[in-house]
Amino acid sequence: MATETIAAIATGMTNAGIGIVRISGEESFPIIDQIYRSRNGRTKLSESPSHTVHYGYICDGEKVIDEVMILILKAPNTYTMEDTVEIDCHGGALVLKRVLETVLKYGARPAEPGEFTKRAFLNGRIDLTQAESVIDVINAQNDFALESSLHQLQGTVKEKIKGIRGAVLHEIAFIESALDDPEHISIDGYGEELMKQVDALAFQIKDLLQCSENGALLKEGIHTVIIGKPNVGKSSLMNALTGRDRAIVTEVAGTTRDILEDQINLNGITLNMTDTAGIHDTSDTVEKIGVEKAKSSLDQADLVIYVADSSSPLDQNDKRIFDLLKEKKVIVLLNKSDLQPVISEQDILSLAEKSNDPVLSISAKDGTGIKELEHVIRKMFFQGEISYNNEIVITNIRQKAALKEALDSLEMVKQSIQDQMPEDFYSIDLVNACDALGKITGESVGEDLVNEIFSKFCMGK
């Protein structure tokens, strides 16, 4: 029941200076009245003004649980639009647990993951895009992801989708009215006017979808696979990028026999790094498994960093590797630039049979060329720029899928107009587009989807 009073620990379960227990629901004030005691005795916090802070103790009967500060927030001016109490207590895991147990003992029930934000959505304080941006703020891995999520939290995506959906609804209403009252509402030449409107709406959706590609990469990270023959410096590169000895580095070829994964932030670019075993012909059973894993990891790669030893000649193993990379975005690194080179950029490009792969000379050992690698990645994925200027960027996969669905429906409307179909055909596809857009903001989603979205939230949020 939405009217049940819920409670949860809203801060991490680790020892800290401050911890917060949050209560929300119509019994929030009666509960706190029973367990709060001021320094001068019991005080009814329910009679206090909203948005006030009170110092005292949480007690279970005569037993003092902790010394606290209590924040009183009265509906509807709260996160959930319900009466809310926040108990700021000491941040030890045990004391937080004891305070929460006391709140539950006197009438609240444990909140489900994301239930506070779910109530904010169900009570109309935020839409589904804003709710999803809450968890995106918490999980942000870089500055761009954080700023984009904060921007969406302010309702920018909601307003954009609301405008597009409103225009679609206007056309649906006009068609339905015209079909119901043809004597007074003429639809002569309406198809041409509708085509102009649908073109404009489709353009807006395409613009959102186009920016979503880079938005997703910036938010979730570029899946980057390091690949090459054994002993060319792949693991040294991994260590240079992560800034620590993540991979074992020795002079013995084939040291890396399994997949190593890590995530790094390269000045605003998040790279989900995968270091692979060296690809080459081998009779060693374990090495063979590593080579196959290296090959399979390429399937999901957004970027492949091919590492070659510039001090050693190229061979057929290099050729076989390049054959696997024909459809991939590739950056070639000529490693060991601190040694005498025996291969050139032209040698690599000739072997790869591709002239557009950037080739950089680096030394993973001393860090030479790492800055240039960063610039190349920026140019390859983001036209050299990573900046946030308050534009709307769709970073959510669910929202992106709904936008594609809406665009497909609008394209079907255009096809019906071109085929001179009856006006009720327009209405069918316009309704589908409207429903798809409603999925983004939560105006046309089922309870199961809502529950699935909020189940991914952390407890207490």
More confident residue, 71 or 420: 71
Residue 242 has pLDDT above 70, yes or no: yes
Question: 291: pLDDT confidence band, cut at 50, 70 and 90?
Answer: low
> Cα(54)–Cα(342) distance, rounded to whole angstroms?
74
Percent pLDDT > 90 in the chain is 33
Percent pLDDT > 70 in the chain is 86
Q: Are 103 and 27 in contact (CB under 8 A)?
A: no
> Cα(236)–Cα(144) distance, rounded to whole angstroms?
28
Residue 329 has pLDDT above 70, yes or no: yes
Question: 6: pLDDT confidence band, cut at 50, 70 and 90?
Answer: very high
Angle at the Cα of 77 from the Cα atoms of 73 and 81, rounded to 5 degrees = 90
Please give the pLDDT value at position 221: 76
Q: What is the pLDDT of residues 179-202, one digit of tens each?
A: 877 777 777 788 889 999 999 999
More confident residue, 267 or 359: 359
Question: 444: pLDDT confidence band, cut at 50, 70 and 90?
Answer: confident
Q: Which of helix, strand or coil describes residue 357? A: coil
Question: 304-322 burial string, b = 16+ CB within 10 Å, else e?
Answer: bbbbbbbbbebeeebeebb
- Taking residue 455's Cβ as centre, other Cβ atoms within 10 Å add up to 12
Nearest to 332 by CA among 355, 309, 305: 305
Nearest to 290 by CA among 306, 277, 299, 301: 277
Please give the pLDDT value at position 205: 92
Please name the helix (run of DSSP H) or strand (run of DSSP E) that holds residue 52, with its range, or none: strand 52-60
Question: 13: pLDDT confidence band, cut at 50, 70 and 90?
Answer: confident
Residue 279 has pLDDT above 90, yes or no: no
Ordered by where they begin, the domains of the chain are 6-126 (3.30.1360.120), 132-216+394-455 (1.20.120.430), 223-382 (3.40.50.300)
Residue 212 has pLDDT above 60, yes or no: yes
**Range 421-436 average pLDDT:** 90
**Range 364-391 average pLDDT:** 71
**Range 338-355 average pLDDT:** 77
**Range 378-399 average pLDDT:** 66
Please give the pLDDT value at position 247: 44
Residue 140 has pLDDT above 70, yes or no: yes
Q: Between the CA of residue 141 and those of 136, 153, 217, 246, 270, what are the distances in Å?
A: 9, 17, 11, 19, 7
Residue 280 has pLDDT above 50, yes or no: no
Residue 104 has pLDDT above 80, yes or no: yes
Task: Give start and end residues of each alpha helix (H) in 106-142.
Answer: 115-122, 128-139
Least confident of 18-22, 97-101, 259-263: 259-263
> Cα(269)–Cα(390) distance, rounded to whole angstroms?
18
Residue 399 has pLDDT above 80, yes or no: yes
